[in-house]
Amino acid sequence: MTIDSMPMAKAINAGLREAMNNDPKVLLMGEDIGPLGGVFRVTEGLQAEFGEKRVLDTPLAESGIIGTAIGLAMRGYRPVCEIQFDGFIFPGFDQITSQLAKMTNRHEGHVTMPVVIRVPYGGHIGAVEHHQESPEAYFAHTPGLRLVSPSTPNDAYWMIQEAIQSNDPVMFFEPKSRYWPKGDVDRTASTFPLHATRVIREGTEVTLVGHGAMMAVLLQAAELAAEEGTSIEVIDLRSLSPIDYDPIIVSVQKTGRLIVAQEAPGFVSVGSEIAATVTERAFYSLEAPVLRVAGFDAPFPPAKLETIYLPDVDRVLEAVDRALAY
């Protein structure tokens, strides 16, 4: 067993290196990802190791990056595109939703699109406008795209490799506030498939579901609730499209209560979809309405107000209290 301790940024770097070593058709594309190693240094050292033809510094043109990746995929390559910040993805939105997501269906399965789009997303870094958004719902709504989001270095290491191996396009949402806390990475074998939901804390009274950076908040809330005698089960989605509902349904059948938490605004969101689906599939197990804890339905505020905007432990525990009150 080979276990290393590293932050998520280094785990993704190690996963990319492993994928590039295993397949010469894997290449990286993005703004400043070469000698600089990207804004968050996730690709640090990879251009020096694999050369400029496999780690490409691109112009500041997200539409061009995605469009080029689509052409490369049609020629048998497996491009991995980095979007520098979440809010910068929208110039490439048309290429992603109108071309990348539909190309395989358009060609009746004869053309595959093994493209990975890495998206650093979410708040907690004190940045300016367009640097702390959570746009995952736009893409989860689009048939033809797969969406995943790791919350630990170990998941990041394995999921980036599994995403690259997929013949479908994968949006890889990286919670940038979790880039630098360290965690154990077991390089022996992946323990969960790419799209598997995972129960990370057992409980009996309330189920908390989230993804990405919210997992640290949910685990902290569960610890505090346990000190007051409340048993909370915590589930990491890991995959936002498709969603592996079975572990969630089983958990709700046990606890009778579900709270879905996310940094993104709550209106027409991933959390909304989970709430609706669980209500359909486990209605008679619910002892309280499914509750959502989310960012407010407003543009992401200036950095000094982000702690008010983003869901925190207090807001999660307040929802727990409301769920238990029914």
By annotation, the residues acting in catalysis are 131
DSSP state of 198: E
Q: Which residues fall within 8 angstroms of residue 46, CB to CB, at 6 or more apart? A: 13, 16, 17, 20, 28, 33, 37, 55
CA distance 9 to 243: 25
Coil/strand/helix, residue 226: helix
| CB 8, CB 183: distance < 8 Å | yes
H/E stretch holding 293 reads strand 291-295
Backbone angles phi, psi at 25, to 5 degrees: -85, -5
Residue 233: exposure state from Cβ atoms within 10 A (0-12, 13-18, ≥19): buried
Structure tokens at 109: 């399965």
H/E stretch holding 116 reads strand 116-121
Cα 291–Cα 292–Cα 294 angle in degrees, nearest 5: 160
How many helices (H) and strands (E) the chain has is answered by: 12, 14
Structure tokens at 241: 């499209």
CA distance to 148, 210, 246, per residue, from 196 (Å): 10, 13, 9
Q: Half-sphere exposure of residue 217, counting CA atoms within 13 Å on the CB side?
A: 27
| CB 175, CB 124: distance < 8 Å | no
CB neighbours of residue 305 within 10 Å: 10
